[in-house]
Chains A and B, each alone.
Chain A
Amino acid sequence: MISPMEKFRKTEVYKSIFRHKYDDTPRNRALQIVDNVFLHLHPVRIARHATNIGYTWGMGGITFLLFLVLTLTGVILMFYYRPTAQYAYDDMKYLMHDVPFGPLIRNMHRWAAHAMVITVMLHMFRVFLTGSYKPPRQFNWVIGVVLLLLTFLLSFSGYLLPWDQLSIWAVTVGTNMARATPLLGSEGPFGPQLGMKPNADVRFVLLGGTQVGPPTLLRFYVGHCIFLPLIATIFMVVHFWRIRKDGGISGPETGKKNF
């Protein structure tokens, strides 16, 4: 007698969704991975040393996981947050007091942001200690530094969004530093000579004005939610691709590789 489950597995509906069986042959294993849009982004096989957490620390992967957590919690937060001076702070309070699980989502977002900065640094530290920046992987280190800067910018822009005292003064101090930038700031070396003025320099572009105000909030919100994540995604894609092309996560130096 065929069990109901086996009968179900022979129906056209089932076969149209689950296209391969679970035969444990190398061919079928590879086929299952390669034919799935989500799984095929991973390599079909990884080297044995890739799972050595004592060596790799896994911090790059954890950083990426935190990025995904931040994206998901960020989208969920967007259902209640309005990026205007009139509403931003009150919407944050609303999330914390009147929305079920609101505090959980907001706190997850905040903790993941802090954790991501830390894991990025740990990742950099590990890459340095294991010499994984050496040829042919030198340029990937450069891309990693750009990703580090993007992480900092994402943190900085996100910090403004609650629109409380900490936010506004942090951004004031940060953008005041921007006006001291050489060549691009109105109070930096060679800035005035190049025509930089308080209403026409890099600080003005960041703030959308001459002081921190509603245009700043909107600008930082679009940067935080759309622009910086898109740029970060592009750089991450290149970063991961280069690792793949260079033979996967780096391992201790051995005579031969175990695949």
Chain B
Amino acid sequence: MGRKSFLSYAGWLSFLSFLAISTIGSLRYMFPRVLFEPPSKFKAGLPSDYVIGEVNEQYKDTQRIWIVREKEGFYALIAICTHLGCTPRWLAAENKFKCPCHGSGYYKNGINFEGPTPRPLERAQITLNDDGEIVIDKSIKFRYELGQWGQPGSFLKYTG
């Protein structure tokens, strides 16, 4: 390879490397290291505050979470319809969740049974902290259709 072609290759390589690194740098610039969004974890009181068999709507407006207590324990349903993201309603008289947007329907456990929704409601991680308070983390989600509803955190065993 002669001097001219070497310099030509070197020149183009430098230019394209500069372009590539600039592109990567610009992309990285668009992802700040600190976000000022509300925390995904919140405390939801003591287990004794909840009635067995009831869907608790106390945190539906503020956190978009339903807390359901069964005989064996607790689970937290995320109040986002898995069709297109509206907030469903809990109809206690008919024992089902119903989405006002397109009529998607879910059983109390979150399984979908009617309407356009393709999959069940998602569950959020629900645990007990050292003070015995229920702690829900909305950033950790469990999907039934991926077999995740048996995993630790998807159901809080409590029979006390």
Judged by a CB distance under 8 angstroms, whether B3 is at the interface is no
Interface residues of B (CB under 8 A from A): 25-26, 28-34
Judged by a CB distance under 8 angstroms, whether A26 is at the interface is no
Structural contact, A100 and B34, CB atoms closer than 8 A = no
Judged by a CB distance under 8 angstroms, whether A192 is at the interface is no
Residue of B nearest to A80 (CB): B32
Structural contact, B25 and A98, CB atoms closer than 8 A = no
Structural contact, A79 and B30, CB atoms closer than 8 A = yes
Residue of A nearest to B34 (CB): A98
Structural contact, B29 and A101, CB atoms closer than 8 A = yes
Q: Beyond A79-B30, A98-B32, A100-B32: 13 further Cβ-contacts under 8 Å?
A: A76-B26, A76-B29, A94-B32, A94-B34, A98-B34, A99-B32, A100-B25, A100-B28, A100-B31, A101-B25, A101-B26, A101-B28, A105-B29
Contacts of B31 in A (CB 8 A): 100
Task: Tell me if A's interface is mostly helix, strand, loop or mixed.
Answer: loop
7 contacts across the A-B interface (CB closer than 8 A):
A76-B29, A79-B30, A94-B32, A98-B33, A98-B34, A100-B32, A101-B25
Distance (whole angstroms) from the CB of A185 to the closest CB of chain B: 42
Judged by a CB distance under 8 angstroms, whether A102 is at the interface is yes
Distance (whole angstroms) from the CB of B89 to the closest CB of chain A: 37
Contacts of A79 in B (CB 8 A): 29-30
Contacts of B28 in A (CB 8 A): 100-101
Contacts of A98 in B (CB 8 A): 32-34
Residue in B25, B28, B30, B32 with the greatest tally of chain A CB atoms within 10 Å: B32
Q: Which 5 A-B pairs have the closest CB atoms?
A: A98-B34, A100-B28, A101-B29, A98-B33, A99-B32
Query: Which residues, 161 to 193 on A, are CB-close (under 8 Å) to B?
Result: none
Distance (whole angstroms) from the CB of A102 to the closest CB of chain B: 7
Distance (whole angstroms) from the CB of A108 to the closest CB of chain B: 12
Distance (whole angstroms) from the CB of A191 to the closest CB of chain B: 46
Distance (whole angstroms) from the CB of A52 to the closest CB of chain B: 24
Structural contact, A102 and B34, CB atoms closer than 8 A = no
Residue of A nearest to B33 (CB): A98
- In the assembled complex, the Cα of A35 lies from the Cα of B15 at a distance in Å of 24
- In the assembled complex, the Cα of A21 lies from the Cα of B26 at a distance in Å of 34
Structural contact, B26 and A99, CB atoms closer than 8 A = no
- In the assembled complex, the Cα of A79 lies from the Cα of B34 at a distance in Å of 15
- In the assembled complex, the Cα of A98 lies from the Cα of B30 at a distance in Å of 11
Contacts of A101 in B (CB 8 A): 25-26, 28-29
- In the assembled complex, the Cα of A105 lies from the Cα of B32 at a distance in Å of 14
- In the assembled complex, the Cα of A76 lies from the Cα of B30 at a distance in Å of 9
Contacts of B30 in A (CB 8 A): 79
- In the assembled complex, the Cα of A80 lies from the Cα of B26 at a distance in Å of 13
